[in-house]
Amino acid sequence: MQSDLIYQLALTLVPNIGPVQAKALLQHFEVRDIFRAKKKDLERIEGIGAIKAASIKSFSSFDLVEKEIVFIEKFGIRPVFLTDTSYPRRLLNCYDSPTLLFCKGETDLNQARIISVIGTRNNTEYGRQATEKLIADLKSQGVLIVSGLAFGIDAIAHKSAVKNNCPTVGVLAHGLDQVYPSQHTGLAREMIRSGGSLLTEFRSGTKPDKHNFPIRNRVVAGICDAVVVIETGQKGGSIITADLANSYNRDVFAIPGRINDPRSAGCNELIRRNKATLLTSARDLIEMMGWEAPRTAVRHKQRELFPDLTGEERQVLEIIGSRKAVHIDEINMRSGLSNSKVAAAILNLELRNVVLSLPGKLYQLA
């Protein structure tokens, strides 16, 4: 395991190799074999070429790798690599999903229901109350709450989740050797004690520099089923995260505010431009996400209505029925079937009006 981790960490340190290139490489090689491959074989991979292949072949910073492993072992950090079964499957559907995540805490990052709650750092009392009520009302739904551990709405979301015994994950824009802002150190500890986690793609020693926050925001947007925006101006991190969520085909919701309040202007604008669905209560969210009926009831009903489905069709149907909409990449990954068998099963289910095809290669029950 440590041997694999050496090469996993090394891959994230190679100059010119980002998440997109790493994903392309891992489609052709096991991680350790990337560093053993011939330069000409690396060059042939789409998106790699001569310069990036040379960066891989000349990589020698294994001292940094060993230093990070010492940190991981000392502080009980859980590394989660792109090909691990514990890697957040929703992130796998994002073209730029992080190659390696570092997790402090034991939260299941593939829980059945995950929402990201985000908003301004300078919230009003209205925003605080809206956040607290939303999370309190979602308590019975078994939802994992994700946010960015920032001041304002983020911190309120995390605190409300802890108070209501909902697991919560803080996605950081820096390494796990610190908590930023430092005022949230106690909150971070309480989150972990309560079954939550801190999550980052940045190795130890990485400072919370300004350019890291948009990078962090794509994880907040991609790790969930839906993003809820509660109070934000017309510019800033929350708008960036909402736009990313839309690009990843995630549901985006926004709680409206007063038309003359600049801290609600971003939410109102998202709704006006049809970039977010208006949200007034947890009940709205539950209904629009299709969380009312137990999954077992849906699956049982499907089996009864279509007793002559093949095993492969049943398998695909259960995955599609697991939530409101499922991406084709997730169906392929979770089913373990070949792409052609999944495509054939989906086609037959569509012809029988059991499932519907949505834009963005998403599928849902008819």
Closest CA to 229 of 211, 245, 213, 247: 245
Q: Which CATH class is domain 295-365?
A: mainly alpha
CA dihedral of 266, 270, 271, 273, whole degrees rounded to 10 = 130
* pLDDT, average across residues 214-236: 95
Question: Comparing 327 with 119, which gets the higher pLDDT?
Answer: 119
Pairing of strands 78-81, 114-119: unpaired
In the chain, domain spans: 2-74, 114-288, 295-365
**Spatial CB neighbours of 351, under 8 Å, sequence gap ≥ 6:** none
Q: Is the pLDDT of residue 41 over 70?
A: yes
SS3 363: strand
Q: Would you identify the CATH topology of the domain 2-74? A: DNA polymerase; domain 1 (1.10.150)
d(Cα 114, Cα 53) in Å, to the nearest integer? 38
CATH 3.90.230.10 fits 114-288, yes or no: no
pLDDT digits (tens, 9 = 90+) for 237-294: 999 999 999 999 899 999 999 999 999 999 999 999 999 999 999 999 998 888 875 4
What is the tally of helices (H) and strands (E) in the chain?
A: 18, 12
- Residues of the chain above pLDDT 70, percent: 95
Of 124, 144, 209, 146, the closest CA to residue 175 belongs to 209
- d(Cα 82, Cα 88) in Å, to the nearest integer? 9
Split at pLDDT 50, 70, 90, the class of 354 is confident
Pairing mode of beta strands 114-119, 144-147: parallel
| Residue 35 CB-density burial (10 A; 0-12 exposed, 13-18 middle, 19+ buried) | middle
Span 196-209, average pLDDT: 97
Give the tens place of pLDDT for each residue, 19-39: 999 999 998 999 999 999 999
pTM (predicted TM-score): 0.79
User: Do 56 and 35 contact (CB within 8 A), yes or no?
Assistant: yes
